[in-house]
Amino acid sequence: MATIRIERESGDAESKATAEAYAHAGQREILFGLYDDEVTLLDAVRAANDDHLDIDDVYTPFPVHGLDPLLGLEESRLHIAGFIFGTIGCLVGFGFMTWVFTRDWPIIFGGKPYWSVPAFIPITFELTVLFSAVGMVTVFYIINGLGPGAEPRRLHDRITDDKFCIAFDVTELSTTEVDRLRDYFDRTGVETVHQKTVAA
């Protein structure tokens, strides 16, 4: 089964403050609706933006084109980590081979100079790719609280399969506001609406 892709909302200062306040209680009430189709989902997100509803997060089984700008997500900075790790890998690979073949254990291969740069390039390239790939995955896991041993936090099993989810944090909302959200779900063609208490 495909892993869940988490679209995090950048969020304004206010909602962050609220979340922090309720973090002490350790519980959050989440109201979420499941949609059948990504087109319906995109329309629903647009409707939520028009109604100024504060979406907590959107969960989809696969990356949905055009969702990021609607949710106001900033461009991921993961590739910067990738660049840094790649540079490290490049320098480590090249530096290590230089040290080995010129200082530590110089051997003539095929009549070539000890410091034969062209022969180092493929390995340097491989290490660049390896470092940047492993580094990016590690950073991604750490940032998102994923990885081996991590407790999977999913609202609904079918989000990892074929359902598209819009979630609202209703911990401190009044009943009229919650009704307004339910009404919004009905309007936008939701399939099912659920409420769940999750750890903050």
Partner 1 sequence: METFVFSSRAKITTLSLMGVGFLCLLISFFVDGGEGHHMRFWTNFLHNSVFFVGIAAIAGFALAAFTTAYAGWFVQFKRVWESFGTFLLPGLFLMGVLIVGLFTHGHHLYHWNDEAAVATDAILEHKSSFLNKYWYTFGTIGFMGLWYFMIGKMRNISIAEDKDDRDTKFTYYKNYKFWAAAFLPIFGFTSAALIWQWVMSIDSHWYSTMFAWYASASLFVAMTALTIMLLIYLKSRGYFPGVNQEHFHDLGKYLFAISIFWTYVWFSQFMLIWYANVGEETIYFRERMDNYPVLFWSNLGLNFLLPFLILMRNDTKRKMGTLFFASALVFFGHWLDFFSMIKPGARLTLIELTEHEGAHGEEGDHAEMGAHGEEELGHDQQAEGHDGDETAALAHGEVVSEGDNLEATAGTQNDVRDNGNVHFDASEQNEGVPVANDFAGGSPSTSGDGIDVLASAANRTDADVFEPNHYIQEENVDDTEMLGHLEVAGGHSEATHTLGFKSGYTLPGLLEIGTFLGFLGGFLFFVLSKLSTARIEPKHDPYLEESLHHHT
Q: Is 122 a binder of partner 1 (CB under 8 A)?
A: yes
CB 115 to partner 1: min, Å: 5
Outline where 24-148 has alpha helix (H). 38-50, 67-71, 78-99, 117-144
Q: Is 95 a binder of partner 1 (CB under 8 A)?
A: no
Q: Is 112 a binder of partner 1 (CB under 8 A)?
A: yes
For the chain, how big is the Rg over CA atoms in Å?
Answer: 24
DSSP type of residue 52: T
Q: Which of 169, 195, 191, 121 is nearest to 11 (CA)?
A: 169
Q: Is 110 a binder of partner 1 (CB under 8 A)?
A: yes
Residue 107 burial (C-beta neighbours within 10 Å; 0-12, 13-18, 19+)? exposed
In the complex with partner 1, the residue whose CB is nearer, 80 or 142, is 80
Interface mask toward partner 1 for 36-75; x: CB under 8 A: -----------------------------xx--------x
- Please pick, from the candidates 2, 16, 46, 83, the single residue that binds partner 1 as defined by CB under 8 A: 83
Identify the three-state secondary structure at position 2.
Answer: coil
Angle between helices 38-50 and 175-187 (to 10 degrees): 140
Which tokens sit at 44?
Answer: 């629903």
CB 45 to partner 1: min, Å: 15
* Tokens 């002490």 sit on residue: 24
CB 140 to partner 1: min, Å: 17
Identify the three-state secondary structure at position 184.
Answer: helix
Q: Is 113 a binder of partner 1 (CB under 8 A)?
A: yes
Stretch of 11-19, 47-55, 116-124, 154-162 lying at the interface with partner 1 (CB under 8 A): 116-124
d(CA 154, CA 57): 12
- Please pick, from the candidates 21, 121, 134, 150, the single residue that binds partner 1 as defined by CB under 8 A: 121
In the complex with partner 1, the residue whose CB is nearer, 106 or 145, is 106
Binding site for partner 1 (CB under 8 A): 65-66, 75, 79, 83, 102-103, 106, 108, 110-115, 117-119, 121-122
